[in-house]
Amino acid sequence: MNQHKYLPFDLIEEVFSHIPQSDVATISACSQTSKSFRVEMQKRLFEFVKLDLSLICYKGASTDPGPVRFTLGDISGDNRAQQLLWALTTNPDLASYVHIFRMTPTLRPPSAPDLALFPHKPTILDILPLLSKVKFFFFNAKLHASLPDYSLFSPRLRTAIRELLLRNRNSLLSVSITAARIFPPKVLTHLPKLKSLSIISLSKQRVPVTEPLTRPPRQIRPEYLRIQSFCLHDYQTLSNLVELLQADVSNGTSALVSFSHLATLRLESPDASRETIKSLINATYPEILSELSITAPHEAITRYNMHPWTHLNVEYQEAPDFDLSRLSNLTNLVISGDLVGVPVQSPDHASTIVHSHCSWIGAILSTLSCPSPNTVSRLSLKVQLHLFRVFTVEDIPELPLAPVIDVITEKRRNGAINAACVEFMVVELDDNDEKADIGSDHEQWKTEVNKLLKQHEAVRSSESFIEFKTVFM
C-alpha cells in the first residue's frame, strides 16, 4: 500500500467498536496500534473491573474478647488485584475509566497463610480509594457462600467501602451488596442518583435527631429494589426494611426508605415472613410499580401426604396474604415456589410428604382483577415451580398442580392476564458421577419426566391458555 494511503480513522474506529467487551486480549492489542486509539481502548479495558477475593477470617489481639472478624485478601496464585493496583497507580487516569466495579468474596485460600495474623494491608484497601467515577458497585458473594453480618468485616474495609460510596455519590446509579447481611442504610441516603439497589437486609440505623435535617429529608428512593438471600437465617432482619419505610414519630425522624419511585420490586427471600412480604408489597405505589417478582416464603408451604393424598395443614388458611388488584400499573409478574417430596420412614411403611406452594400462589393470583370494559390487560405472568428429584415418575401425574394452574386458566379466560407461562424447574441430584453412570438412562428419565408433566390433567386442560416449559437444573 502506498504510504499516503491510509484506512479512514472512522472505519478503524467502527471495526474496533465491534470487538466484544470480553475479548480483553484483542482490545489490549488494539490499544497499541496508535496513540489515537489508546485512550478509547483503555476506557473499554477498565470500564468493568471484577475481582475475586479471599474471604479471610481473623481474630483480633489475644486480649480482644470480641467476635471473629472478616476481611478480603488476595487469592493464592491470583495476582490480578496486584496488577490492577500497579496499573492504577502507574497511570492514575485509568482509575477514572472504571465505571463498573465488582468484588466477590470466595472461600479460595489467601495468597499468604500468615494473613490470619493480619499484619498488613490487603490490596483491595489500596484499590478502593483510587476509584472516583464508579457508576455501578457490586459486593456480591458466590451462590451459597457463607454470609457474615456486615458489622463483622474489618473496620478498615467498611470505612473504605463507605468512603467509596460517598466519593462517587454523584455518579453511582446502582449498588448491590449481597455478600453481607444487615448493611447500614444511612450512607445510601447520600446517593442522590441511586436508581438500583440489591441487598439481603438492612440494619435499623436511622438519621440521628441531632443531625441537621435536609429539606426534603434524605431518603433511599430506588426505582429498582432486589431483596435476596441464599441462607436460612434472614427471617428476623428482613423486617428492618418495613420499619425503615415508616416515620419514627417518637423520635421525630422521617422514613429512611421510600417506595415512591419504585417501578421494579424483586422479593427473592424465602426466609421472609408472609407478613413482611405483605407489608413490603402494600408499601408500593400502585401507579408506579410495573414489575413484581416474588419467591414464595417457607411459611406458605402446604403439606400433603401421598398415597393416599391427604391435606395435612389443618390450620392452613388459603385466604390471600395481599391483594394484587390494587397494582393497576403491573405489567410483569413472576412468582416462584417449590414442590418438594420429603421421604418419611415409619415402622409400618415408607411414605412421602409433599411440600407445595401451589395453594399459596393460587390464592395470590386469585386477587387479580378483570380489566375495565374496552381495555386489554398488559399483564404478563410467569410462575416457576421447582420440582426436586425425589419424586418417582409414577408420582408426577398426581402432583397437586391444580390449585395454581386452574386459577391461571380462569384469569386468562376473563382477561385479567394477557400472557401466562408455567415453568417446571426440575432440580436434579448434584452428582456428576451418578449422571455419568446412568448415561442414556438419565436422558430417558428426563424425556419421561417431561412427557408426564405435559400429560398431567391440569396441564392438558390448560394448554390453550398457558405456555408450559420444563427446565432441568
pTM of the model: 0.85
**pLDDT < 70 stretches in the chain:** 1-39, 41, 60-66, 112-120, 143-146, 206-216, 230-236, 307-318, 345-350, 389-390, 429-440
169-193 core/surface letters (b: 16 or more CB in 10 A; e: else): eeebbbbbbbbbbbbebbbbbebee
| Angstrom distance (rounded) from CA 76 to CA 109 | 6
Q: How many helices (H) and strands (E) does the chain have?
A: 13, 16
Q: Phi, psi at residue 246, to the nearest 5°? A: -115, 145
Q: Where are the alpha helices (DSSP H) in 108-220?
A: 124-127, 155-167
pLDDT at 122: 87
Task: Classify burial at 78, counting beta carbons within 10 Å of its beta carbon; exposed 0-12, middle 13-18, buried 19 or more.
Answer: middle
Residue partners of 96: CB distance under 8 A and separation at least 6 = 132, 133
- Contact assessment for residue 272 and residue 238, using Cβ atoms and an 8 Å cutoff: yes
Among 197, 179, 178, 180, CA closest to 189: 197
**10 Å Cβ neighbour count for 309?**
11
Cell of 259: 417506595
Among 53, 3, 47, 57, CA closest to 21: 47
pLDDT at 1: 44
- Contact assessment for residue 286 and residue 260, using Cβ atoms and an 8 Å cutoff: no
Cell of 462: 390448560
Identity of residue 53? L
DSSP 8-state symbol, 309: T
| Angstrom distance (rounded) from CA 439 to CA 33 | 51
Beta-bridge mates of residue 470 = 424
Q: What is the pLDDT of residues 356-401, one digit of tens each?
A: 999 999 999 999 998 888 888 999 999 999 998 667 788 888 888 9
3-state SS class at 173: coil
**10 Å Cβ neighbour count for 348?**
6
Residue partners of 102: CB distance under 8 A and separation at least 6 = 48, 49, 50, 51, 137, 138, 139, 140
pLDDT at 371: 85
Rounded CA Rg of the chain = 27
What kind and span of H or E run contains 73? strand 69-73
Among all chains, which residue has been given the C-alpha cell 455519590?
169
| Angstrom distance (rounded) from CA 246 to CA 253 | 9
Q: Where are the domains of the chain?
A: 24-133, 326-356+375-429+441-472
Residue partners of 409: CB distance under 8 A and separation at least 6 = 461, 462, 465, 466
Identity of residue 57? C
pLDDT at 387: 92
- Contact assessment for residue 420 and residue 412, using Cβ atoms and an 8 Å cutoff: yes
DSSP 8-state symbol, 248: B
Residue partners of 78: CB distance under 8 A and separation at least 6 = 52, 108, 111
- Long-range pairs for 438-445: beta carbons < 8 A, 24 or more residues apart: 445/393
pLDDT at 61: 59
| Angstrom distance (rounded) from CA 422 to CA 415 | 17
| Angstrom distance (rounded) from CA 323 to CA 282 | 8
Q: Before 308, cis peptide (omega within 30)?
A: yes
| Angstrom distance (rounded) from CA 376 to CA 252 | 45
